[in-house]
Amino acid sequence: MEVLVTYDVATDTPAGRRRLRRVAQVCEAYGQRVQKSVFECVVNLAELELLRHRLAAEIEPAEDSLRIYRLREPRQRYVEIMGREPRFDLRDPLVV
């Protein structure tokens, strides 16, 4: 399944800036950054639960906001992209 992870982390303190970096690092492990605080991720149910758990451990609920949206299939029908395209398609095989 495809999910969209968005977050807003309070960065007015050094601890907040560290949380912001850690949240981004967790998201980078599961998907691709499409905007500064927005990631598209392709995960199965187990990976989604792990992603939720890891993100919940990084944020401060009283100060930060995190949202996970499940994208409807077929993606091309429901997602419109204007401007720069993502670097790669998460659904394509990755050759290393």
- The answer to whether the pTM exceeds 0.95 is no
Using a 10 angstrom Cβ sphere, with 0-12 exposed, 13-18 middle and 19 or more buried, the burial of residue 94 is exposed
What is the reported pLDDT for 79? Answer: 74
Q: Quickly state the pLDDT bin for 90 (edges 50, 70, 90).
A: low
**Confidence bin at 92 (pLDDT 50/70/90):** low
- Provide CB contacts within 8 A for 94, sequence distance 6+: 88
The count of other CB atoms within 10 Å of the CB of residue 58 is 20
| CATH number for the domain running over 2-78 | 3.30.70.240
Select from 13, 46, 6 the least CA-distant residue to 27: 6
CA distance 93 to 5: 22
Please state the domain extents for the chain: 2-78
Beta partners for 70? 3
**Residue 61: predicted pLDDT:** 95
pLDDT in tens, 41-82: 999 999 999 999 999 999 999 999 999 999 887 766 777 777
pLDDT tier for residue 88 given thresholds of 50, 70 and 90: low
Express each pLDDT in 13-43 by its tens digit. Answer: 999 999 999 999 999 999 999 999 999 999 9
